[in-house]
Structures are given as C-alpha cells and as structure tokens.
Structure 1
Amino acid sequence: MSDDKTGVAATTAAINTAAPAAAETPTTGEDRYIYLGPNRLRDGLQMNQVYIGGLPEFAIKKLEANFVLIRQLFAPIEKITEYQQAVQTKGTPQYVAYMQMLGVNE
C-alpha cells in the first residue's frame, strides 16, 4: 500500500462516474440493505447490520463528505455474496470505499 493520494482520488473519480450507487435504486418499504463496511459505532454503523426500508440516510449524510463512496458499502440483500467478494477485490468500488473508511490510501 502506498501513500499516493492521487491513485485513490483517480480511482474514486472513475468509480463515481462509472458505478451506480445502491441508493439510486428506488426503494420500497421492504427494501433491505446490509452494511459491509468497518464498524463506525459512533456514527450508527455496524458491520453486517441490516437496514429494512432503505438506506440509513442519517448516517450516510453525516459521513458522505469524508467518505464519498460510502453508499458502495450497502449491499441489497439479494446481492450480498457479490458485494462481499467485491469488498475483498482490489480495485472494485466496494474495496476502495472500505479502504477509505479505514483511512488507507492505496
């Protein structure tokens, strides 16, 4: 892992334009998302917590200024396996978002 912030910034910019966020999907009262990021208990986020009825906008709005890809860490329940693999795959939007939340610049 390097300290090159331009690599993360460039990757983040590319992801922001190429990958739709989970929140872009219209929500219904039964939509369920699971948070796959690191624990941020002071901000109300716990790994593997399920949110019913949509994303936890209270936490996302609070953190989005510092972690622009945070929405990538909320997986629709029906895509949990895909998202769990993506969090562990270098270069994916979910991986970059997870690293941002940990404060790691790659």
Structure 2
Amino acid sequence: MAKTDELAVMENKPTETAEKPVKSNDAKQVIYLGPNSAELGLTTGTVYIDGIPAVVGEDKAMLRLLFVPINKIAEAQQELATEGTAMNAAYLEFKKGGRR
C-alpha cells in the first residue's frame, strides 16, 4: 500500500517542464517571404528547417533578406509592406527580375 501512496504523491508534484519555457530550434528555421521563383525553386511561405537553402548563395545578399526566422514573421511582413525598407526593396527587385 505504500507504493500506491507514493505514486499519488508523485502525481501531485508539479513537473519541471511545466515551469520552464519549451525550447525549440526556431533559430535555424526560416520562412521565405519573397516572390515565387521556378528558376531557384523558391515558393512564398516555404519554411526551411536548416536555414537558408544552398541555392541562395552568399553572393545574393538582397535575396537573403527575404528569408526570416519563423518567430519574426509578423515584424518581417510589416517591414515588407513598408515602402522604402530593405525588405521591400529586395522583394521589388527580385520580383522585377533581379537575382542579387
């Protein structure tokens, strides 16, 4: 009977996971917010779990601006919609055919 009482006590204890925030690998996960590109295989809204894909080389700085961490989507969409911001300029350039 002691074992039953012991289990009851253990079930009533708060667990450590309930008190700590859940950690994830969001830092590496990015979402592409630029226009679709069949040439590069990019589709708006695609989430990449290992960061920016290799097809987007280091030399494509403007295009790389259109990949944002998934936990920053709201801020990025606001910046994308604001005329004159770096993200807005990158989007417009890529849409008209620029591949930088």
Query: What range is the shorter-chain TM-score in?
Result: 0.5 to 0.7
Residue 29 of structure 2 corresponds to residue 32 of structure 1: yes
> Tell me, which stretches of 5 or more residues in structure 1 are unaligned?
1-27
Relative to the length of structure 1, the TM-score reads: 0.61
Name segments (4+ residues, structure 1) moved above 3 Å. Answer: none
TM-score, with structure 2 as normaliser: 0.64
| CA displacement, residues 26-82 of structure 1 (integer Å, 9 cap, x when unaligned) | xx79610000000002211100000002111x2212972xxx411110010010000
Alignment of 1:1-106 (within 5 A): 31-56=28-53, 58-61=54-57, 64=60, 68-103=61-96
Structure (1/2) with the larger helix percentage: 1
Counting aligned pairs with the same residue, the percent is 38
Cα RMSD of the aligned pairs, angstroms, is 2.5
Residues 26, 69 of structure 2: 8 Å contact kept: no
